[in-house]
A and B are shown apart, each in its own frame.
Chain A
Amino acid sequence: MKSIYKLITIPIMILFAPAGMADSPLPGKDKSETCLGCHAIPGYNNVYPTYKVPKVAGQNADYIISALKAYRDKDRIHETMHANASALTDQDITDIAEYFESLK
């Protein structure tokens, strides 16, 4: 009898599990599609000057927010990042930052 009870309640619990608890992706996952071209290639190089494209998975969200806003405002040097950040809204930036931080 107990096991029948479980058989019924567990699927119901799963069905009504709040969004986010299941693996519904963060909105920043889709919004960060463009970033993958450089930031998802291990050891990918920036050129002039040459250094490896920084790792951003697991980075702190507030830092990513300030970095992206600085690129958007052209307060921080990097032409490709200026171009990519120029189209981002504040909400996009927050979503991307939360997604990166979630990858700890």
Chain B
Amino acid sequence: MVPLMQLALTFLKIGTFGFGGPFSLLAIMEKEMVERRKWLSAEDFTQSVGIGTLTPGPIFFAATIYIGHRLRGIPGALVCGVCTLLPSFILVLAIAALYVELQSSPLVMAIVHGISVGVIGLFVSVVIKTGRSTMKDLWSIAMVTVTFILLAFFKVDPLVLIVSAAVFGGLLLQPKTKVQESEK
């Protein structure tokens, strides 16, 4: 079982250094949870993003709660949720209280732009890893491709797509044998 203290430290780290918006945060989380500490499988991670998309609010935050619950139940969810928010909460509070002027200066914009370009490359590597873990047969390749096209080119609401994929999967993608079940 993952010690709560280690869970807390990992999410404090993500909350402290996770610059660059939701997709940067998801990429860091994937690295820490799946690759480095091996607390989750790549599929568990993808599942947590799915839950994050289905629920209201920030996807990254919802995924954090799901992972915390998955690893250590309710206390785990509480620890992860608080530790993710705490560093930026303190920082934002300090900025507000000290009346620090944080207007978007050209330098700040340049840094934000630099990070957003880096996040793309980072995120491509997450997508490739996710794809490798989930696309195992023709069915799954077809389904990923269809979802991708509907989202990228037809701007279908992601929520609608994920709900339909859940219904579709429930009806047609049930595990066929006991062997497959025990693999999970």
Partners in one complex: no
